[in-house]
Amino acid sequence: MKRHSQIWIAGLTLSLLTSCQQYSAPKAYNAPKVINQSRDADTSVELARQALSSSRAFEIVESLTVEVGPRLAGTDKDIVAVDWAMEKLWKMGFDRVYKESVQVPAWSRGTAIASIVAPYEQPLVITALGGSVATPERGIQAPIVRFESLAELEVASVGRIKGKIVFIDHKTERHITGKGYGESVGGRSKGAIVAAQKGALAILIRSIGTDSDRMAHTGMMRYDEDVTKIPAAAMSNPDADLINAMLTRSNNVVLSLNMSPENQGIATSYNVIAEVRGSSKPNEIVLIGAHLDSWDEGTGALDDGAGVAIVTAAAKLIQDLPERPARTIRVVLFAAEELGLVGAKAYAEQHKDEMELHYIAAESDFGAGKIYQIDFNVHPSVFEKVKFEHSAMIRNGVALGDNEASGGPDVSILPALGVPVASLRQDGNDYFDYHHTPNDTLDKIDPKSLAQNVAAYAQFAYMMAQSELDLRPVNKTGLED
């Protein structure tokens, strides 16, 4: 396994550099002294070849979206999804398949009806934000007060807000990294607290979404136990435009809002786990994750059926190799990510004694767009070497990126526990067109892009299961994607 084949490597590197326009070597790039073994690089190339010629991942996400569909954590369909996953993973022949219970908040959507009452009557398309309380049964009718952003709401006077319905009108920017989401999502997650502190009766936000479909984007919101809980909903982008048009005509735009969601206590869900048992270091773990739960209005194809399919299909390719890699590859399908990384937090707690054995972790939770870059959070001294081990990924359009990865939502809590992570960054230009809406359905997934993701995850997991580098200690300060 230690044979070096400099000629082969040089040839590979040259062909990689010439075959991919996206990659350019950093100026200060020095060829690392420790390079990956040629046999591992061969295997990496072969894994990618197999992934790109396989439709397995698409078949998995098709199965999940057709045979389960929406699977809100804490509902009956969530358990249907857990059973589906256990059976699917078992039938695929993984070395080990098991589940670990997680206590999750249960919430039901109920109905959400809103309309503009003045200056002109019009119905609105809204959806309750996850975790919202209901309105009184008779509903709420009050004037609206508009804010450009959460920041503007935070500095507004109580006098402007008291007795009104707060409207946060923050538009979400389209960007390959999805950074617009991070910039606007604060209004969704924290808006109800800030609005209630200033006496608002309810909060309605412009959807955190880049589309112009008349569909509202749901998503989790939070309360503060010391602050009055007010109903919270999102409206579609065209509805937000309509309200703005009303506001140009009248300072007194009055809304009627009636919502009946219900928080229903605690339910049991499960993290579902499958393993490809390592050959020589079976206790060391390369974790590739996704989340099994979804919102309830689409079929959870992009979020996160795609991720479930990608990491499962990637691990299956490695399971089917003639020889197991050194470390164990652990596929974790997290519970209740949408409700606040609930399964991930439970996993970290349940596996706290094993954290030191987690060699590296990554999560696929950004739809099915192609991966254009891999980033890491490893010790700076080995960063260039880790990157070089992943050189074969360049062939499939994956550039070797920076050392500032968070690892993905569920996995983002692991660096603080000392675990190195990687982010396999996907093209997210259209992800927030569909995110958390009824439009999150199978037809939005391009099978070829999905297969490219499988290739990258298989290559990543395999090379990390074989690597002889020491990736620790990592930056624990919670680097953000």
| Identity of the amino acid at 167 | F
Number of helices and strands in the chain (H, E): 14, 16
Answer yes or no whether residue 213 interacts with a copy of itself by CB under 8 A.
yes
In angstroms, the CA 189 to CA 173 distance is 18
How would you write 159-214 as a 3-class SS string?
Answer: HHHCCCEEEECCCCCCCCCCHHHHHHCHHHHHHHHHHHHCCCCEEEEECCCCCCCC
Contact mark string toward a copy of itself, 335..374, x via CB under 8 A? ----------------------------------------
Taking the complex as a whole, the smallest distance from the CB of residue 217 to a copy of itself amounts, in Å, to 13
Taking the complex as a whole, the smallest distance from the CB of residue 338 to a copy of itself amounts, in Å, to 18
CB-based contacts of 111: which residues, under 8 Å, 6+ apart? 258, 259, 260
Answer yes or no whether residue 126 interacts with a copy of itself by CB under 8 A.
no
Taking the complex as a whole, the smallest distance from the CB of residue 129 to a copy of itself amounts, in Å, to 19
Q: Are 225 and 260 in contact (CB under 8 A)?
A: no
Binding residue (CB under 8 A) for a copy of itself from 19, 59, 120, 320: 120
Helix (H) or strand (E) holding 156: none
Choices 116-124, 129-137, 169-177, 472-480 (CB under 8 A): range interacting with a copy of itself: 116-124
Taking the complex as a whole, the smallest distance from the CB of residue 149 to a copy of itself amounts, in Å, to 21
Residues with catalytic function? 337
Taking the complex as a whole, the smallest distance from the CB of residue 205 to a copy of itself amounts, in Å, to 18
How would you write 418-453 as a 3-class SS string?
Answer: CCCEEEEEECCCCHHHHCCCCCCCHHHCCHHHHHHH
Choices 66-74, 188-196, 419-427, 460-468 (CB under 8 A): range interacting with a copy of itself: 66-74
What is the footprint of a copy of itself within residues 71-90 (CB under 8 A)? 77
In angstroms, the CA 368 to CA 290 distance is 12
For residue 398 the two structure tokens come to 């994956």
Tokens 């044979």 correspond to what residue? 3
Tokens 């990390």 correspond to what residue? 464
Contact mark string toward a copy of itself, 230..259, x via CB under 8 A? -------xx--xx--xx--x----------
Closer Cβ to a copy of itself, 119 or 265, answer by number:
119
Tokens 């999905």 correspond to what residue? 450
Choices 26-34, 304-312, 368-376, 433-441 (CB under 8 A): range interacting with a copy of itself: 433-441
In angstroms, the CA 302 to CA 65 distance is 10
User: Which CA distances in Å does 141 have to 104, 114, 256, 259?
Assistant: 33, 10, 4, 12
Choices 21-29, 118-126, 218-226, 364-372 (CB under 8 A): range interacting with a copy of itself: 118-126
What is the footprint of a copy of itself within residues 447-476 (CB under 8 A)? none
Taking the complex as a whole, the smallest distance from the CB of residue 246 to a copy of itself amounts, in Å, to 7
Closer Cβ to a copy of itself, 183 or 213, answer by number:
213
Answer yes or no whether residue 420 interacts with a copy of itself by CB under 8 A.
no
Q: Are 126 and 145 in contact (CB under 8 A)?
A: no
In angstroms, the CA 200 to CA 179 distance is 29
Answer yes or no whether residue 305 interacts with a copy of itself by CB under 8 A.
no
Q: Are 51 and 451 in contact (CB under 8 A)?
A: yes
For residue 254 the two structure tokens come to 């009055």
Peptide bond into 304 cis (omega under 30): yes
Distance from first CA to last CA of the chain, Å, rounded? 35
Answer yes or no whether residue 430 interacts with a copy of itself by CB under 8 A.
no
For residue 429 the two structure tokens come to 């230009």
Binding residue (CB under 8 A) for a copy of itself from 27, 91, 443, 477: 443
Binding residue (CB under 8 A) for a copy of itself from 48, 60, 61, 68: 68
Binding residue (CB under 8 A) for a copy of itself from 19, 55, 212, 350: 212
Q: Are 261 and 305 in contact (CB under 8 A)?
A: no
Size of interface with a copy of itself, in residues (CB under 8 A): 33
Choices 60-68, 171-179, 389-397, 463-471 (CB under 8 A): range interacting with a copy of itself: 60-68
| Identity of the amino acid at 134 | A
For residue 58 the two structure tokens come to 């698409």
Taking the complex as a whole, the smallest distance from the CB of residue 120 to a copy of itself amounts, in Å, to 5
Q: Are 304 and 425 in contact (CB under 8 A)?
A: no
Q: How many CB atoms lie within 10 A of CB 321?
A: 15
Answer yes or no whether residue 66 interacts with a copy of itself by CB under 8 A.
yes
Taking the complex as a whole, the smallest distance from the CB of residue 258 to a copy of itself amounts, in Å, to 15
Closer Cβ to a copy of itself, 69 or 178, answer by number:
69
Taking the complex as a whole, the smallest distance from the CB of residue 166 to a copy of itself amounts, in Å, to 22
Closer Cβ to a copy of itself, 65 or 453, answer by number:
65
Choices 42-50, 326-334, 402-410, 438-446 (CB under 8 A): range interacting with a copy of itself: 438-446
| Residues forming the site for a copy of itself (CB under 8 A) | 62, 65-70, 77, 120-123, 125, 212-215, 237-238, 241-242, 245-246, 249, 298-299, 437-439, 441-444
